[in-house]
Structure formats: structure tokens, C-alpha cells
């Protein structure tokens, strides 16, 4: 495992940045010094799919293949009960919140007005492409109707509930956006998964998904988002689901499904190009690319360094060789979980363990797999009056 926790390492960065400003002659006033001692962000708005969803779905509303997220052993590691997170414990977004000294984000559907520190709009099963596309192509059998556009609709309704109506430069809108970090989790994996075996090409999905996602990001930036982190697609070819479905000769240098990892890699290349364009369109914003694909590969190449003993098998599941059966998934009465999830990368065949999410979050926040580094985002935030 890493020598420093995600929380403590980031706190050191925040303290270091604050110290720099305290010693800087460009900030001579007492009010400026007081400002640097505040938390870097007062709220987080999160978006994405099941890798980021902290409770917008439940067993009755989640993806058909994983309808037991409200049942044990989900949530067993940290919360000690199911929280409708698709893991044994915390997700990347939870570690981000803790590192920034903020509470866990309430899911939008269950926020009950408790949104002072932000809201999570991510929803499991969500796609980048609008749901209508899948309906028109007869691919809607196993998906939830939410997309990234749905999450934008929810966000707009939330803004209206905060008094942000009409002019986005008004005081109520300014309050909603000031001191806010926008964390956009991975989105697009489901788009490819839902078209598996159909006549719809990867190229079509990639083009439509990236275009839709870019429009979503543009909307956030036009509304006033200044600090945005965008997660890439992970190395999805390493998930037990992909390993189970793909032929055994379809493998890459780390033993994962080559065709699926190439799919995610190509998607991420196009995404990075779009983010580069957005940085030019919105020079006042800091847009960070969080490289989930390489973060996952980094762990897979040297799992022992991060405390993992099992790279491919799911902790919670059944069946050989990857402890995963698509028809008998985690949360069902007949399915059990391992006793040591912290030694597993994968939790239920598709989603990751808390330990893996923690390792990935640490790379994003304290490592070199964010571009520009998250430390740079914090520094620029601290420079703002």
C-alpha cells in the first residue's frame, strides 16, 4: 500500500500551498491570509455512472444484471451496511470528499435539501448517449433510462431549487458555482456494453458518446464551472465480466482482454483531444484529465505494491475461473463474498473494491496521473481572490 493516505497527502498539499501564500509579498493583507486558511472547496458536484453513484439507484432501479446493490454484502467494509454504492465501501468520489474535508455527497434523489456541501448526480447504468438511441436500435432491454443528459436535467432542477433562475450571473447562481469542484466520473462504458453483439459499431458509439459528453461539459463550463475533473474510462478489459465473455486468446500484455482495453484506450484518446479544445474555449477554467486507464494498469502491473493479492477474480461472486457468473451476481442469497476484500481489485465482477478505489483516488489526487496535476488545480484555486 502507499505510505501516505489519500487524505493526509492532499492535506499536506493544501498546507504547502497555504504556506506559499502566507510567505508571498503579493498577499500582504490579513484578509488574504484568512482566505488561504479556508477549505479549497466548499462543495462538490459529481456526475457519472455506477463507479461514482453514491445512492441514486437501488436494487429496484439499478441495471438488470446487478439488482441486489441494496443487499449485503454491499457496503460491508466501511459503512457496515448497504448504501446503494456498487462496492464493499467507499468510491473514488468519497475519498475525494474526505481529502477536501467535506462530507460524503448525498445522492440527488435522496438529498432532502441537505446539499450545502454538494450533490451527487451520478447514476448506475447511465450512458453518455441519450436513451432514445438505444430504444431506436432495440438495445434497451438491459439498461436504465438515465444518461448524462438526465444528470444535466437534474442539475438544472437543483440550481432552480437554489434560486438560480434566469441569469446565470446572478447572486444565487454565483453562490452555487463559487468554491465548487465539478467531479465528472467515467461515463461511456455502458454505451459500449449495451451494444455488444449488435450491428452498431464501436466507432459509432465513440463518436456519439464523445459528442454528447462534450456538449455536457460545455454546458457546465458555460454555466460557470471553473474547476472540473474528468475521469477517463478505466481498463475495462480487466474486469471479470470482460474476462468471462471474451475468448482466451484475446489478451494483452497484462493478461486483460485486449480488444476491450483497446476500445477504452481509443475512446480516451478522443476524449483528451476534446478536453484540449475545451481548455482553449474556456481559458478561465481548470480542466483536469484523470487517467483512469493508466491508473488501473499501474495497479495491474504491480498489484503487490498496493496490497493486492488477487487481480482478476471478483471478491463477491461465484463460478470459475473469475468467481463471476452473470446470472448469479453479488447480493443474491446464494452468493458469498471473500473475507479479505482489501486484497482484491474487483468487488462484484464489474465494480471495484474500496481498496482499489482508494489506490486510484490517491493517484488522481497525489500522483502523476492527472493532467494537469490536481495540485495545480488547488494552487490556481488558492490564487483566486
- Whether the pLDDT of residue 17 is over 50: the answer is no
Q: What is the pTM of this model?
A: 0.89
Q: Which one from 87, 267, 291, 351 is the annotated catalytic residue?
A: 351
Catalytic-labelled residue, pool 7, 49, 50, 212: 50
Cis peptide before 321 (omega within 30 of 0): yes
- Out of 88, 252, 291, 348, which one is annotated catalytic? 348
334: pLDDT strictly greater than 50? yes
Question: Hey, which bits of the chain come out as E strands?
Answer: 43-47, 118-120, 180-184, 227-231, 286-290, 310-314, 316-317, 336-337, 344-346, 370-371
> What's the CA gap between 79 and 74, in Å, rounded?
9
C-alpha span between 385 and 352 (Å, rounded): 39
Model confidence at 60, pLDDT cuts 50, 70, 90, reads low
Of the pLDDT bands very low, low, confident and very high (cuts 50, 70, 90), residue 143 is: low
Give 85-141 pLDDT, tens digit per residue. Answer: 999 999 999 999 999 999 999 999 998 778 999 999 999 999 999 999 998 888 865
Tens of pLDDT, residue by residue over 31-46, are 222 334 578 999 999 9
Of the candidates 238, 120, 260, 245, the residue with the CA atom closest to the CA atom of residue 184: 120
CB 1 within 8 Å of CB 306: yes
Do 140 and 190 form a contact (C-beta atoms < 8 A)?
no
C-alpha torsion 373→379→380→384, nearest 10: 160
Task: State how far the Cα of 11 lies from the Cα of 106, in Å rounded to an integer.
Answer: 23
Q: Cα(324)–Cα(66) distance, rounded to whole angstroms?
A: 12
Q: Is 348 a catalytic residue?
A: yes
Cα angle at 164 between 163 and 169, to 5 degrees? 135
Residue 133 backbone dihedrals phi, psi, to 5 degrees = -60, -45
Which residues touch 136 (CB under 8 Å, ≥6 apart)? Answer: none
Max Cα–Cα distance, the chain, nearest Å? 65
Task: Please state the rounded mean pLDDT for residues 294-318.
Answer: 98
Q: What percent of the chain is predicted at pLDDT more than 70? A: 86
- Residue spans of alpha helices (H) in the chain: 6-23, 30-36, 92-99, 131-136, 148-161, 171-177, 189-194, 202-223, 240-245, 258-281, 292-301, 354-366, 374-383
Average pLDDT over residues 177-190: 95
Is pLDDT of 333 > 70? yes
Q: Where are the alpha helices (DSSP H) in 235-368?
A: 240-245, 258-281, 292-301, 354-366
Strands 316-317 and 336-337, how do they pair?
antiparallel
Q: Please give the Cα distance from 20 to 123 (Å, whole number).
A: 39
Q: What does the alpha-carbon distance between residue 338 and residue 353 come to, in Å, rounded to a whole number? A: 11
CA atoms within 13 A on the CB side of 41: 30
Residues 313/322, Cβ–Cβ less than 8 Å = yes
Q: What distance in Å separates the CA atoms of residue 365 and residue 373, rounded to the nearest whole number?
A: 8
No. of helices (H) and no. of strands (E), the chain: 13, 10
Amino acid at each position: 500500500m502507499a505510505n501516505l493516505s489519500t487524505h493526509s497527502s492532499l492535506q499536506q498539499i493544501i498546507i504547502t500551498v497555504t504556506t506559499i501564500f502566507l510567505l508571498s509579498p503579493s498577499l500582504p493583507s490579513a484578509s488574504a491570509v484568512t482566505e488561504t486558511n479556508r477549505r479549497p472547496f466548499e462543495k462538490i458536484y459529481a456526475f457519472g455512472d455506477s463507479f461514482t453513484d453514491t445512492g441514486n439507484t437501488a436494487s429496484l432501479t439499478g441495471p438488470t444484471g446487478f439488482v441486489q446493490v441494496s443487499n449485503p454484502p454491499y457496503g460491508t467494509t466501511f459503512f457496515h451496511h448497504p448504501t446503494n454504492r456498487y462496492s464493499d465501501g467507499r468510491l473514488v468520489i468519497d475519498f475525494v470528499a474526505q481529502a477536501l474535508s467535506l462530507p460524503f455527497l448525498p445522492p440527488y434523489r435522496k438529498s432532502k435539501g441537505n446539499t450545502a456541501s454538494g450533490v451527487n448526480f451520478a447514476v448506475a447504468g447511465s450512458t453518455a448517449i441519450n436513451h432514445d438511441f438505444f430504444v431506436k436500435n432495440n438495445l434497451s432491454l438491459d439498461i436504465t433510462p438515465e444518461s448524462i443528459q438526465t444528470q444535466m436535467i437534474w442539475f438544472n432542477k437543483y440550481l432552480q431549487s437554489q434560486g438560480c433562475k434566469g441569469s446565470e450571473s446572478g447572486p444565487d447562481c454565483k453562490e452555487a458555482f463559487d468554491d465548487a469542484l465539478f467531479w465528472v466520473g467515467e461515463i461511456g462504458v455502458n454505451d459500449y456494453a449495451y451494444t455488444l453483439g449488435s450491428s452498431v459499431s464501436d466507432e459509432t458509439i465513440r463518436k456519439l458518446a464523445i459528442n454528447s459528453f462534450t456538449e455536457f461539459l460545455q454546458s457546465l463550463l458555460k454555466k460557470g464551472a471553473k474547476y472540473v475533473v474528468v475521469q477517463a474510462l478505466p481498463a475495462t478489459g480487466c474486469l471479470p465480466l470482460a474476462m468471462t465473455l471474451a475468448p482466451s486468446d484475446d489478451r494483452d500484455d497484462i493478461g486483460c482482454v485486449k480488444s476491450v482495453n483497446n476500445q477504452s484506450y481509443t475512446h480516451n484518446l478522443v476524449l483528451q483531444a476534446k478536453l484540449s479544445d475545451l481548455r482553449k474555449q474556456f481559458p478561465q477554467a481548470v480542466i483536469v484529465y484523470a487517467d483512469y486507464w493508466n491508473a488501473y494498469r499501474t495497479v495491474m502491473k504491480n498489484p503487490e505494491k498496493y496490497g493486492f493479492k488477487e487481480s482478476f477474480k471478483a471478491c463477491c461472486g461465484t463460478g470459475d475461473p473469475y468467481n463471476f457468473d452473470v446470472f448469479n451476481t453479488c447480493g443474491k442469497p446464494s452468493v458469498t463474498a471473500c473475507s479479505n476484500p482489501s486484497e482484491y481489485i474487483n468487488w462484484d465482477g464489474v465494480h471495484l473494491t474500496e481498496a482499489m478505489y482508494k489506490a486510484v483516488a490517491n493517484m488522481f489526487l497525489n500522483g502523476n496521473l492527472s493532467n494537469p496535476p490536481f495540485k495545480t488545480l488547488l494552487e490556481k484555486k488558492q490564487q483566486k481572490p
